[in-house]
Amino acid sequence: QQPVQSPQAVILREGEDAVINCSSSKALYSVHWYRQKHGEAPVFLMILLKGGEQKGHEKISASFNEKKQQSSLYLTASQLSYSGTYFCGTEREGGSQGNLIFGKGTKLSVKP
């Protein structure tokens, strides 16, 4: 079952913040976040595992609410380099190893 991402697209000015949400109707074991720039491969940002946690590096962080089967990606003080499409990928609890299903993506555009 494909996770649902929102919003579909967002436009920011440099320095503004954004939140991207990812929700699933199934119990989750993990949530991955990736960023893909146009014409390039998706790049791994972080993974959050069952147990409910928050992670972050630099100005990009994420949370995982296990009870609600939701994850949010937080981008603070956005930079031009943050532009791209952000995908969440989910692994179901009890699912087979490596069955990572991605959402449709959120296109983020950061303008000067």
Partner 1 sequence: ETGVTQTPRHLVMGMTNKKSLKCEQHLGHNAMYWYKQSAKKPLELMFVYNFKEQTENNSVPSRFSPECPNSSHLFLHLHTLQPEDSALYLCASSQAGYPNYGYTFGSGTRLTVV
Q: Which residues bind partner 1 (CB under 8 A)?
A: 30, 32, 34, 40-47, 49, 85, 87, 89, 96-102, 104-105
Closest distance to partner 1 from the beta carbon of 84 (Å)? 13
Bridging pattern class, strands 106-111 and 9-13: parallel
Closest by CA to 90, choosing from 60, 50, 41, is 50
- Smallest gap from Cβ 74 to partner 1, in A, equals 18
Place of tokens 């069952």: 50
Please, which residue, 82 or 87, has the CB nearer to partner 1? Answer: 87
Residue with smaller CB distance to partner 1, 29 or 74: 29
Question: Whose Cβ is closer to partner 1: residue 17's or residue 53's?
Answer: 53
Give least dist CB 18 to partner 1, A: 19
Distance (Å, whole) CA 90 – CA 104 = 12
Q: How far apart are CA 110 and CA 77, in angstroms?
A: 10
